[in-house]
Chains A and B, each alone.
Chain A
């Protein structure tokens, strides 16, 4: 891979993750499925004890979990490594906020989550472009606010 091809790949992967966040926070599940994930994609959320895949089953779970929440996810300072012409890894610092209605609390009683951590990801280049193969969320800190 030439230096230019590597820089192009890094940029495309940054765009991919940007779409991950944009579609998720705007609940555009079609966009999330078609433009973000590989069909074998897996979502690993350690704090919930979850390793969910492949993609379609995982998205059904995510939709079920999300209800009418407002979510804000931000990713920062990615370290992206192109490991071959069609594979790469990425490490993103992240912060998220989840605001739940009283009709749909998280885990039965949580109204607000503020979290900080890192996404550890694997990417694969398919015919349609780069896609997320797996993402694992680790936390530095998570705050749960319960309201009653």
Chain B
């Protein structure tokens, strides 16, 4: 892959992840389905009972079910992106999230820090997130009742 194609691929992947954060926080589930995930996507969430969600639809369904009544803020930082072939790449993103729920829920608030470890695939429609896993440095959860 030549230098320009590599740089363009890195930029495209940054936009995919930017759309991930935007879709999650503005609850734009169609955006996530259309521009971020694909059939091969898979989300591993160790802190949630070691859950795995396979396929873009399953991931979006999980987000929608978990987050519909929350205000969420997800920020990504300092990506380390490596283009491993014309159609594959890996990335590590530092992240911080804040979840604001309501009193009486199991979790009323989350403030967390960690890293997404991800792979990307290039399909006909462009780059998409393949497998991604959230590992934590620290999480503070609150319960208000």
Are A and B in contact, CB atoms below 8 Å, in the complex? yes
**A43: Cβ under 8 A from any B Cβ:** no
Contact assessment for A7 and B18 in the assembled complex, using a CB-CB cutoff below 8 Å: no
Binds B, one of A63-71, A72-80, A103-111, A123-131: A72-80
Considering the chains assembled together, what is the distance between the CA atoms of A116 and B100 in angstroms? 12
* Contact A78-B18, Cβ < 8 Å, known A4-B4, A93-B25, A116-B98: yes
Q: Is the CB of A79 within 8 A of B71?
A: no
Interface centre among B14, B26, B73 (most CB of A within 10 A): B73
Q: How far is the CB of B127 from chain A (nearest CB, A)?
A: 14
Contacts of B22 in A (CB 8 A): 77, 79, 91, 93, 118
On whether the beta carbons of B8 and A3 are closer than 8 Å, the reply is: yes
**A contact residues around B25 at 8 Å (CB):** 93, 140
Contact with A along B87-113 (1 / 0, CB 8 A): 000000000001010000000000000
- Is residue B19 within 8 Å, beta carbon to beta carbon, of the partner chain? yes
Give Cα A148–Cα B69 distance, bound, in whole angstroms.
32
Complex-state Cα separation, A93 to B11, whole angstroms: 17
Indicate whether B17 reaches chain A with its CB closer than 8 angstroms. Answer: yes
Contact B11 A10 (CB under 8 A): yes
| Count of chain A residues near B, Cβ 8 A | 16
SS class, residues of chain A in contact with chain B: strand
Residues 1-39 of B contacting A (Cβ, < 8 Å): 4, 7-8, 11, 14-15, 17-19, 21-22, 25-26
Is the CB of B76 closer than 8 A to any CB of chain A? yes
Is A56 at the interface (CB under 8 A from chain B)?
no
* Interface check B75, CB cutoff 8 A: yes
Chain A residues, CB < 8 A from B138: none
Beyond A77-B21, A93-B21, whether A140 also contacts B73 by CB under 8 A is: yes
Assembled-state Cα–Cα distance A7/B15 (Å): 13
Are the CB atoms of A141 and B76 closer together than 8 Å? Answer: no
Residues on B lying within 8 angstroms of A by beta carbon are 4, 7-8, 11, 14-15, 17-19, 21-22, 25-26, 71-73, 75-77, 98, 100
Interface residues of A, Cβ cutoff 8 Å to B: 3-4, 7, 10, 74, 76-79, 91, 93, 95, 116, 118, 140-141
